[in-house]
Chain A
């Protein structure tokens, strides 16, 4: 019996020996990180237990607040919408400059570096900067989302342009098209479905972002949620949360539905 157990144990150690070192390293790192974060699990349970009253309040939204929340909710949607559409338009321009089959290498590389640098800036940092320049309000929010959209979609669209079959562009060139015609019929037309589905994807993301950006100063439903929370008006905060959930859910459904439609209609759109 003991023989059996031993012979079972040895290969176990040999089999998992290779995993042992990384796991031990991870645990050690986690210990250190937990110390830096000041993680105290007892505090979490005490805190959650101590805040049952306010958590219960969060589960009972204040129904009369929904009327006031319609306008902020629309503001959030529109910030995301306008930010995404203008951002897509701008990112198209940047993408044309960042595609190796359209732009000379030095332009392509510098535009790509610019887009990469933009992606390294979280939208919320851009918004902090813009709020300092333009003041609070949807203006800064729209601009922050536009800039964020350019960094993300610019690269995606440029990659899509670089994957276009060169024969398509050459054949349009061969019948004597001008440069603008090449761009419209040889570049934008073939990838239009992917551009639209990127934009829809980004719209979903922008809706989520507009909630956070709202709290920092772009206004909208995020600001209402934040203000209600800070003023300990938990009933109102719960209503704002419900409205936000509805927005996120609907935008996801809408974008999924449109994307599926574009996929089935295919080249026609």
Chain B
């Protein structure tokens, strides 16, 4: 009946697992007590959710046609995401080349760009959008600038790792016949990394659409802002229509970005 190879833990492993598990439970209980989080409320207060759903349905789809600003907001969100991906992605590619060991020989430059990249990665998007709103005012322009920075933070380091993971042998071969660093970057490294860069930028666009909706709430404009307004003035039927519109937008961008990415990868691999 007993199969020691699969099921039975050694006493030490059992003890370790039991300790980890009970420590987690104690931590969660302590956290709940500290925050005043009462899971029981979920059962007693569930009728609030039901009430909210009732006041939200049926969604007011007429709003999407009647209010011209909604269409503009969708366009704004998409533009924000597109420009954030384009500019942020472009800067991310440049900084990646400046921070990768096999393309940037000067150590100081690598250290500086790496520090900047990790700074852009850890600074919360909330803070970035607040600074840009303070600098250029409310609106999609601020959102777009914030998206540029978050894209640089998310993808700069990834791109730099992709560059560092390229095959060293071709580069060495081309160096050995007397090529300059520029020529190696242009004819050896760039062709190797371009497909995965472009595939990642499609993914970045998909990600940025989601982030753009969140940033809209803090003054970035676009559909997120419209949704926030509708919720704030308790126009719940409008809000549900906007939520559904948001979901359609996200699913569509995900499908398009996935489709383009896989098509692009197939084309480049076939070439």
Give me the interface of A with B, judged by CB distance under 8 Å: 26, 29-30, 32-34, 36-40, 43-44, 47-48, 50-51, 54-55, 58, 74-75, 78-79, 81-82, 85-86, 116-117, 120-122, 124-125, 128-130, 132-134, 137-139, 142-143, 168, 171-172, 175, 185, 189, 208, 211-212, 215-216, 222, 225-226, 229, 237, 241, 244-245, 248-249, 252, 268-269
Contacts and interface: CB of A to CB of B under 8 A. Distances in A.
A208 B124 contact: yes
Contacts of B228: 128
Interface residues of B, number: 71
A60 B217 CA distance: 27
Given A39-B141, A252-B122, 9 more contacts: A29-B82, A36-B76, A81-B31, A122-B250, A128-B217, A130-B49, A138-B36, A138-B37, A241-B123
Nearest to A71: B34
Contact of B48 (A78, A120, A134): A134
Contacts of A116: 251
B265 interface: no
Interface stretch (B131-139, B156-164, B171-179): B131-139
Contacts of B123: 241, 245
Contacts of B32: 78, 82
B193 interface: no
Nearest to B10: A268
B130 interface: yes
Contact of B52 (A120, A124, A132): A132
Nearest to A38: B141
Interface in B21-52: 24, 27-28, 31-32, 34-38, 41-42, 45, 48-49, 51-52
A81 B126 contact: no
Top 3 nearest A-B pairs (CB, nearest first) are: A33-B79, A47-B135, A78-B31
Given A33-B82, A39-B141, A269-B13, A175 B1 contact: yes
B247 A121 contact: yes
Main SS of chain A's interface residues?
helix
A212 B131 contact: no
Given A38-B141, A51-B135, A134-B48, A216 B217 contact: yes
Interface in B207-248: 210, 213-214, 217-218, 224, 227-228, 231, 236, 239, 243, 246-247
B172 to A, nearest CB: 25
Contact of B127 (A30, A32, A124, A225): A225
Given A33-B83, A222-B126, A138 B35 contact: yes
Given A44-B145, A172-B6, A248-B124, A85 B24 contact: yes
B122 A134 contact: no
Nearest to B38: A139
Contacts of A226: 126, 130, 218
Given A120-B251, A124-B214, A215-B126, A75 B35 contact: yes
Contacts of A249: 122
Contacts of A138: 35-37
14 contacts: A26-B86, A33-B80, A37-B140, A40-B141, A44-B136, A47-B137, A78-B37, A116-B251, A121-B250, A128-B231, A175-B3, A237-B127, A268-B9, A269-B20
A171 B5 CA distance: 12
Contacts of A43: 136-137, 141
Chain A CB within 10 Å — which of B6, B37, B218 has the most?
A: B37
Given A37-B141, A51-B135, A79-B35, A211 B243 contact: no
B6 A211 contact: no
Nearest to B216: A124
Contact of B130 (A48, A117, A229): A229
A17 B208 CA distance: 30
A44 B126 contact: no
A40 B139 CA distance: 12
A37 B27 CA distance: 46
Task: Name the residue in A48, A137, A237 with the highest tally of chain B Cβ atoms < 10 Å from its Cβ.
Answer: A48
Nearest to B210: A122
- Most interface-central of B34, B75, B80, B137 (chain A CB within 10 A): B34
B13 A185 contact: no
B7 interface: yes
Contacts of B42: 143
Contacts of B127: 225, 229, 237, 241, 244
Contacts of A81: 27-28, 31
